[in-house]
Amino acid sequence: MPVVTVSAELGSDGERIAQGLAERLGLRYIDRSVLIEAARAYDVPGVRASAPELAERAPSFWERLNEERRRYNVLLRAVIYRFAAEGDCVIIGSGGGLLLRDVRHVLKVRVIAPRELRIQRLMATVDTRDAAAARAAAEERLRQSDRDRSRYIRYLFNVDWADPAPYDLVLNTRVISPLTAIELLAGLVARPEFQPTADSEALLQDLALGSQVEAILMHDPHVWVENLRVSARGGEVTLSGQVLAEEDREAAEAVARRVSGVQVVRNEIAVQPPPLAGM
């Protein structure tokens, strides 16, 4: 059940490599469009593809003040952890490698290339006789993409997008062709280092279950929990947060118990009724 995440610079051939690897090994290719459709399962009318967390960009000042930031963060984690737990997939972008950095058997790859080569590759995709205009457009696309992705990763994880430390492998496609990269990665995922262990599989299942319960609770119209947090360990789920009444606390627990995979619910949600008027 190989799981590979690919973080790629624009113009690095990272998407071609990720798609080719998925085809080579018969794996699902999980890109932004697939993640968005998966997120819609929790809230069909309310999920916006333009939300920063799904569009791979940092939110504006006003967007940061919106309560939806927390909701979209939970949705992103829920769908990525779910796909990874199911296995047999290649996940491109969306911070997948950083979300799964503690899961040992997930192969986390970053694909880069020299700036000039990236510009040349982008220019080759434009049908124009004006080389100067094509170069200017390519440079602007590169600048915008690098800025957006850097800010996005900083916003979600507070780390430097270019830091190689979270990745198992950094591929520079200056010389390495997509075909060679695909063969290299196909060989790596078969190595013992990237086979699931009892511990790595348990960690991934816990991440998937906890985020799944949290996403379901956040989108249930009959549940309202302030500062909701959910963690899972071996089928035991712990709920925390604050509600106004005992009925709200019980409603959240009832919904959590119905989620597939949940065996035990530890309800640590606190009841904090509003203060009496005039107090």
CA distances 85 to 63, 127, 215, 253, Å, are 31, 42, 16, 24
Which range has the worst mean pLDDT, 35-39, 77-81, 126-130, 260-264?
A: 126-130
Residue 27 near residue 92 (C-beta atoms within 8 A): no
Taking 70 as the threshold, does the pLDDT of residue 6 lie above it? yes
Q: What's residue 65's pLDDT?
A: 76
Report the share of the chain in percent with pLDDT over 70.
97
Q: What's residue 64's pLDDT?
A: 82
Token pair of 60 as six digits: 């504006």
What does the pLDDT look like over 121-164, one tens digit per residue?
A: 998 887 777 788 888 888 999 999 999 999 999 999 999 988 99
Closest CA to 112 of 159, 84, 149: 149
Whole-model pTM: value is: 0.90
At which residue do the structure tokens 């627990």 appear? 253
Which range has the worst mean pLDDT, 75-89, 117-131, 165-179, 183-197?
A: 117-131
Written in H, E and C, the secondary structure of the chain is: CCEEEEEECCCCCHHHHHHHHHHHHCCEEECHHHHHHHHHCCCCCCCCCCCHHHHCCCCCHHHHCCCHHHHHHHHHHHHHHHHHHHCCEEEECCCHHHHCCCCCCCEEEEEECCHHHHHHHHHCCCCCCCHHHHHHHHHHHHHHHHHHHHHHHHHHHCCCCCCCCCCCEEEECCCCCHHHHHHHHHHHHCCHHHCCCHHHHHHHHHHHHHHHHHHHHHCCCCCCCEEEEEEEECCEEEEEEEECCHHHHHHHHHHHHCCCCCCEEEEEEEECCCCCCCC
The distance in angstroms from the start CA to the end CA of the chain is 59
Mean confidence (pLDDT) of the chain: 91
Residue 145 near residue 39 (C-beta atoms within 8 A): no
Mean pLDDT to the nearest integer, 9-32:
95
Taking 60 as the threshold, does the pLDDT of residue 278 lie above it? no
Q: What's residue 66's pLDDT?
A: 80
Q: How far apart are CA 95 and CA 77, in angstroms?
A: 10
Token pair of 39 as six digits: 């997120």
Residue 253 near residue 267 (C-beta atoms within 8 A): yes
What does the pLDDT look like over 200-239, one tens digit per residue?
A: 999 999 999 999 999 999 988 888 898 999 999 999 999 9
143: β partners? none
Whether domain 3-194 has CATH 3.20.20.70: the reply is no
Q: Which amino acid makes up residue 112?
A: I
Neighbours of 228 (CB within 10 A): 20
Could you tell me the pLDDT band of residue 86, with boundaries at 50, 70 and 90? very high
Could you tell me the pLDDT band of residue 22, with boundaries at 50, 70 and 90? very high
Domain-wise residue ranges, the chain:
3-194, 220-271
Which range has the worst mean pLDDT, 17-31, 76-90, 120-134, 193-207?
A: 120-134
Residue 257 near residue 265 (C-beta atoms within 8 A): yes
Closest CA to 39 of 84, 87, 72: 72
Which range has the worst mean pLDDT, 95-99, 220-224, 233-237, 267-271?
A: 220-224
